[in-house]
Amino acid sequence: MIFGFDIGGTTIRGAEVLPGLDLGPVRRAPTPARDFDAFVSTLRDMIAAASARPEAIAISLPGVMNPATREALCANIPCLNGRRVEEDLASALGLPVVVANDADCFTVAEARAGAGRGHRIVFGAILGTGIGGGLVVDGRLINATGGFAGEWGHAPIAARMAGNPPVEMPRLRCGCGLEGCLETLGSARGIERLDAHFHARTLAAEDIIAAAEAGDPLSRRTVGWFVEIVSAPLAMVVNVTGATIVPVGGGLSNAPSLLQAIDEAVRAFTLCRFSEPVVVRGQCRHEPGIIGAALLAGVDGTA
């Protein structure tokens, strides 16, 4: 048995993962984001409540691992930033530890047990509060030794103009330090920023999408800008990687009409003319981070 964790900036979720990817009860606790000792203690308490001592610990968390030093860049959990997380946690917990980026874990789960089954190249996209991504080729995670492949949200590639007739898009500074990153306009917060910028109102992303589906002209314009902003870079990712499926996770994956619009726009831009949807909702709806991390740690995914 492997014990898996999906760790965010506010909440830690943990569960036993058995062969066949059966999950035990999912336990939750607040993330001690600034206190490493308290962080370790929280993990230790969850592990102690398991039905048996696990063989290894598998962890999905935000941020990236430097492939040369294995040090973490984890802005949402400062107590891990700059640490060799696998080494430090293995020493503290007395068990082997595997750590991977949360979007990478999502992609592994989808490639091996979700929408990506049967596809050689799978690009997993997170569209939520932020943007993330991961790449699996022939069942192998490209970032198996760490790195930032798949981080399509962090580059200054947000469209400068969008819409018909075209209007100038705002240029916003990203949390990564650059200006004009896709994440600033192409995330759930990005929809809200676009709507506020052009329509001078404050609405949640899900409300804007629902209003667009109901025919509200302002919301439809906002969603149209968003689809245009996201689809061109995602089509470029498909062209560069050769991915034949793009499972989507994150809060915006719960909006079927939005995913359909993004898929149609992406397929219009890709070199290969796909006859079937490429951008699809992820199928691993229950703890994909834990499942993906456990698969990376060696759990047997067959029943």
Q: What is the pLDDT of residues 114-142, one digit of tens each?
A: 999 999 999 999 999 889 999 999 999 99
- Report the predicted TM-score, pTM, of the whole model to 2 decimal places: 0.93
CATH architecture of 2-105+286-296: 2-Layer Sandwich (3.30)
Angle (CA) 26-32-38 rounded to 5° is 95
The answer to whether the peptide bond before residue 62 is cis (omega within 30 degrees of 0) is no
Residue 177: the pLDDT is: 82
Per-chain mean pLDDT for the chain? 94
- Please determine, for residue 303, whether its predicted confidence score (pLDDT) is greater than 70: no
pLDDT value, residue 39: 97
Residue 226: beta bridge partners?
Answer: none
Residue 272: how many other CB atoms lie within 10 Å = 11
Residue 28, φ and ψ in degrees, nearest 5: -125, 150
Contact yes or no for 57/289 (Cβ under 8 A): no
Cβ neighbours of 105 (radius 10 Å): 31
Is the Cβ–Cβ distance between 297 and 2 less than 8 Å? yes
> What sections of 49-175 are H helices per DSSP?
85-93, 102-113
User: Which residues of the chain are in CATH 3.30.420.40 domains?
Assistant: 2-105+286-296, 115-281
Cβ atoms of 93 and 44 within 8 Å: the answer is yes
CA distance 122 to 138: 9
Quick one: pLDDT at residue 184? 94
Q: What's the pLDDT at 302?
A: 64
CA distance linking residue 124 with residue 113, whole number of Å: 13
CATH superfamily entry for domain 115-281 = ATPase, nucleotide binding domain (3.30.420.40)
